Structure 1
Amino acid sequence: YSALPWFAFSDMKHADSIRTGDSVPKISTGKLIQEKKKYNLPISISAHHGLTDGRDAALLIQKMIDAQSLL
């Protein structure tokens, strides 16, 4: 996990190495921006499909969206 709170992004490529067998999931967040009463947080998730699938990423994002409604 890494946080880059000083800039917003729309796309991010995580560094990885096929040679070393790097399969650790990587999550990065960017600058939190408030627009009216909503908050936007860029998030990048990179995970090996043999260890997780899109459903797991979608559940994480949905929990973040649900947590925003509590603010």
Structure 2
Amino acid sequence: MNGINTDEFHSCFNGKKYDSFVENDIAFANSLGFHATPSFLIMNSEGSIIKKIEGPKPFPIFSSIIESIEKETATN
């Protein structure tokens, strides 16, 4: 690989220094019901989860979901 020290890269990648951080992030995502990446939460201004999106999606999917939420919010 050009531009990086491959020995340092492999040492970091194979090391255990960040395992607990990754495991904690995975546990948190699982507690929210996520089991794939990427995953997204659409939340309201109060911090409540309105919609979960799991897996890669094209922009029109996000746009459609957000527009639907905006319309629903405007009618309430």
Give the TM-score category using the shorter length: 0.3 to 0.5
TM-score (norm 1): 0.37
Q: Which has the higher contact order (CA 8 A, sep 6+)?
A: 1
- Structure number having the greater helix percentage: 2
Q: TM-score, normalised by structure 2?
A: 0.35
Q: Which has the higher strand share?
A: 1
